[in-house]
Amino acid sequence: MATYSYEENPRLSAHFCAREFRCKCSSPHTFQVSEQLISMLERLYTALDCGKIIVSSGYRCAAHDKAVGGNGAGQHTKGTAADVVCYDKSGGIISAKTVCCKAQDLGFGGIANITSAYTSVHLDVRTGAKWYGDETKGTNTVTSDFYRYFGIAKDSKDSRKAAAKGIDVSKHQGVIDWEKVKASGQVDFAILRAGFGKESNQIDVQFARNYSECKRLGIPCGAYWYSYAKTAAEAEQEAAVCLSALAGKQFEYPVAFDIEEKESLQNADALCQAFCSALESAGYYTAIYTFKSALESCIGDNVKKRYDVFLSHVDVSKSSYAGNYGLWQYSWKGSVSGIVGDVDLDYAYRDYPAIIKNAGLNGFAKSATTTPAADTGKDTLDTGKDTDMLGQILQHVASIDEKLNG
């Protein structure tokens, strides 16, 4: 066990620095980090092939442990625990189910899923009795085997949830037979063109029908808005029309700002920020849709880090785009039963329905993301007072920035 002063920040291993583990209470004080915990986190990093692991809560003083729902004497107060979010190399959050299983294989003494969106995991290196929990179920010890508990095959080479398969459609697909689409089994989600430009009469003529059919058949859907904006003011006008089209509807997937016109891309960052911040202010989870080349040469790092990315890069088996993205459009020539002609095909790498519904975004009412702490040994997500998912996402982004820049 090593003890550090509040301002100390030595590198502890290839992927962790001391400061990531210090107490997040308001008074600066010394903190402890177990070497055993760091070496186990490094093993987890390798085993999951992570791009990064963000520590949302490491050491806690007794007062802070109590403040976030612990009993003031748990593993966090000993420096032997960390609540983490694990990211894959494309920047997607690795499901807590996968992380729990892998942590079990590696021999962590205490493991628990701590959010109902399955994004965060408590890990500790306690000795003696094991503690495998699922905080969202409100009980301390849920299982002796996470594989069985989550229904994950142990022998599968990659127990990571496979990407969801989707399509994106507009009036160009005509009147879609959504029952056939659903029955095809090829479509886990659909991204619907809501409209284009800044005039109120430019809502996609199939949008309302596509939306109501998806809802009727239980196909999770998102939306996109095709931009012709040249200035931030025009992008704001587009956002206003888009919001009027989205009003009263619920979307399990992001709302993407489709920026691909040459003149729009000349001023891309300002347009993306104007559109996405207007959508976010209205409670929507946004993404930037554009081509690989535009992402590389027209969109700034701050914008790509700040908003989710819907990458368009077709006719390749694996995209060579090096940045992060949550959605990938990989073909314009898909063939799906119920749709006449070609259709765009997409993959989603994040569990958007869980993220968006839990956060109460995109028209959904907010649901509780953690079980209220009533019991000793309880562990809640330590994100301070802001526990909504958008806040969590932004906090993660901030943590990532801090990690990359620090």
Contact residues for Zn ion (CB under 5 A)?
23, 25, 61, 64, 81, 83, 122, 379
Nearest-approach distance from CB 58 to Zn ion, in angstroms: 9
Nearest-approach distance from CB 120 to Zn ion, in angstroms: 9
- Give the type of residue at 97: K
User: Which CB, 45 or 330, lies closer to Zn ion?
Assistant: 45
Residue with tokens 């982004």: 397
- Alpha helices per DSSP H over 247-267: 262-265
- Residue 383 burial (CB < 10 Å; 0-12/13-18/19+)? buried
Q: Quick one: which of 285, 234, 283 has its CA closest to 259?
A: 234
User: Which CB, 73 or 233, lies closer to Zn ion?
Assistant: 73
The length of the chain, given as a count of residues: 406
User: Which CB, 61 or 389, lies closer to Zn ion?
Assistant: 61
Nearest-approach distance from CB 86 to Zn ion, in angstroms: 14
User: Which CB, 7 or 155, lies closer to Zn ion?
Assistant: 7
User: Which CB, 29 or 216, lies closer to Zn ion?
Assistant: 29
Q: What is the DSSP letter of 25?
A: S
Nearest-approach distance from CB 82 to Zn ion, in angstroms: 7
Nearest-approach distance from CB 83 to Zn ion, in angstroms: 4
Nearest-approach distance from CB 87 to Zn ion, in angstroms: 18
Q: How far apart are CA 11 and CA 273, in angstroms?
A: 35
Q: How far apart are CA 169 and CA 193, in angstroms?
A: 6
Read off the tokens for 174: 């005509």
- Residue 209 burial (CB < 10 Å; 0-12/13-18/19+)? middle
User: Which CB, 25 or 282, lies closer to Zn ion?
Assistant: 25
User: Which CB, 123 or 242, lies closer to Zn ion?
Assistant: 123
- Give the type of residue at 138: G
Q: What is the DSSP letter of 205?
A: T
Phi, psi of 385, deg, nearest 5? -80, -20
346 forms beta bridges with 166, 329
Chain-centre distance for alpha carbon 266:
29
Nearest-approach distance from CB 243 to Zn ion, in angstroms: 38
Q: How far apart are CA 217 and CA 189, in angstroms?
A: 11
